[in-house]
Amino acid sequence: MNKKASNRSSQPTTTAWRYYVVIGIVVLIYGGLLARSAYIQIIEPDMLKKQGDMRSMRVAANTVQRGSIVDRNGDELAISVPVETVWADPKIIMDKNALAMTEHWQALADVLGKNVNKLTTRVVRNPSKRFVYLERKISPAMANYIRELKIPGIHLRKESKRFYPTGEISAHIVGFTNVDDKGIEGVERVYDQLLTGKGGNKRFRKDAKGRKIEIISVKEAQAAKDITLTIDQRIQAIAYKELKGAVQAFKATSGSVVVADIHTGEILAMANSPSYNPNNRRNTAIHRFRNRAITDIYEPGSTMKPLAALTALEFGSAKENTIINTSPGWMRLGGRRVNDPRNRGKLSIEEILVTSSNMGTAKLALSVPKNFLLDKFFDAGFAETTGTDLIGESSGMMHDRQRWSKFELATLSFGYGLAITPMQLTRFYATLANGGIKRELSIIKNEQKEGERVFSNEHSQAVMAMLETVVDEHVQKAKVEGYRVGGKTGTSFKAVAGGYGNDYVGLFAGVAPISDPKVVVVVVINDPGGDLYHGGEVAAPVFSRVMKGALRVLNIAPDANRKLASSNKLRLANKKQKNKSLSVDKEANDV
């Protein structure tokens, strides 16, 4: 009886304990669910949205094709052509055992020009990856072949590839892009942002069957812009052909030709040799990418002598009919010697330029104050870029210091002690032919820039007339049939450590037609390796052929009267009689 009573008294206690345990568990479960719900919805509500978007939201990119580069006449210099890229999905390849298709993989390797073992190794190296490039930008024919192989996990993606129709002819101007279509050199690099544009995209949501059910947003693409250059590809082709032939014929290290419109400053041609093929740059030496017309600097030699004459005329220390006594053909300045090959006696300014007299130009330079002479060199545009905005353009080397010896000023007058680019030399002669108005040069069409008068029109025209006599009497190889041409040769030693070596640079800078100047052409032949190295021998013939081609392409009529006026002819005849014993060496005094 007592045992039964005892059992009854303990039963409610056990029941209550179990009840509370169950209630506690239920509360914990619901509390956990409530906390989780609060965490998801209040603290981190975007997580589930992100998960949902990953499963249902897609973005379709709208790529923009790179803009074209064309010359002044609309001829294409750089265009984008459709190509495709081969890529692999290693996970799909491994999941579907696609590597077992050995014959297909061998065919893929053969068409891509790769080793099959190396190709498959790239895929299996990281089997969990979802994207591996196999080959970028292949031709449509190769893409169709690969598509027919039907290897699981091998896909094709549409892209565009840059193509340069003119090849090596315009390579240094146009430049090139890398595999991702980013500009690396030339105009491609300078105007990369304009040529690239901005791609657009469309964000949309799809259902389980892949159908579009909602368009969320649309970002419109910004079309790329085409670039029109000032280059005339016809003149560019002529310049490159003649330059390349001269560099090879004279065994030169390199050469440059620049052709510009005198009145607008537009560059009509800019060629360098050696060049390269921008469509296939494999195994091309890096130095070939350099645009030598704007990067390489040279001491210009006798091509600076017109500036010395112009400076004396501007200051008033000499007039057109001034006679300079160059006897005895040499002089010492601070222990250094300035000399001509022989004693040429008394010379007019025109005769100084014709005979390329170092003594004459040195005395003209020393006849003006030091600061006035230096200012004219800076006014001519030396020590500053020409305004093309091309990457890598050098400003040359023109010292701006207080102390200059008389010898240094004298050598400056015949092109030593400064170094300039072919482009800077082009601008100086364009300024001279334009009546003393200096303009920045341009490579982009319709980019007109204001000019600045730096020399008087009267004295500029006087020097141009003298330069015509230089060509008529001294540089027969620079003449252009039917046109009056003016210009100046230059031959300078190349500087080396501690002085000058035995290598030369041959130059010619000239303008035509003198009756109404239109075109300036500068030719530089660097380090000719044969027996001929003077500017009148290696650069003047190139100038003549390039100028002839440019004048014809631009449809510039020949001079109505090729010869000078009768008074000028009489003056020249008298001068020839006076100097008949002074037969001028071709370029002996340019060195």
Question: Pick from 466, 186, 178, 451: which is nearest to 312 by CA?
Answer: 466
Look up tokens 């609309």; give the residue. Answer: 74
Torsion of CA 381, 387, 390, 396, to 10 degrees: 10
Contacts of 445 (CB under 8 A, 6+ apart): 72, 228, 229, 230, 266
Contacts of 206 (CB under 8 A, 6+ apart): 56, 57, 58, 212, 213
DSSP E strand boundaries for 14-153: 57-62, 69-70, 76-88, 132-138
Say if CB 440 and CB 266 are below 8 A apart.
no
* Side-chain half-sphere exposure of 419, counting CA atoms within 13 A: 12
The Cα–Cα gap between 538 and 528 comes to 8
Say if CB 478 and CB 471 are below 8 A apart.
yes
CA 223 to chain centre: 24
DSSP assignment letter at 221:
-
The Cα–Cα gap between 154 and 94 comes to 12
The Cα–Cα gap between 358 and 303 comes to 12
Question: Pick from 262, 311, 240, 278: which is nearest to 451 by CA?
Answer: 262
Active site residues: 302
Query: Quick one: tokens of 15?
Result: 């029941």
Query: Quick one: tokens of 514?
Result: 């003198």
Query: Quick one: tokens of 529?
Result: 């390796």
The Cα–Cα gap between 325 and 362 comes to 11
The Cα–Cα gap between 526 and 514 comes to 28
Helix axes 370-379, 305-315, angle to 10 degrees: 120
Say if CB 151 and CB 108 are below 8 A apart.
yes
Say if CB 271 and CB 259 are below 8 A apart.
no
Q: How far apart are the first and last CA of the chain?
A: 141
Say if CB 257 and CB 267 are below 8 A apart.
no
Query: Quick one: tokens of 543?
Result: 């100038």
Sign, Cα dihedral of 526, 339, 474, 516 = positive
Say if CB 373 and CB 364 are below 8 A apart.
no
| Helix or strand (DSSP H, E) at 163 | strand 154-163
Tell me the sheet residues that pair with 219: 201
Say if CB 155 and CB 89 are below 8 A apart.
yes
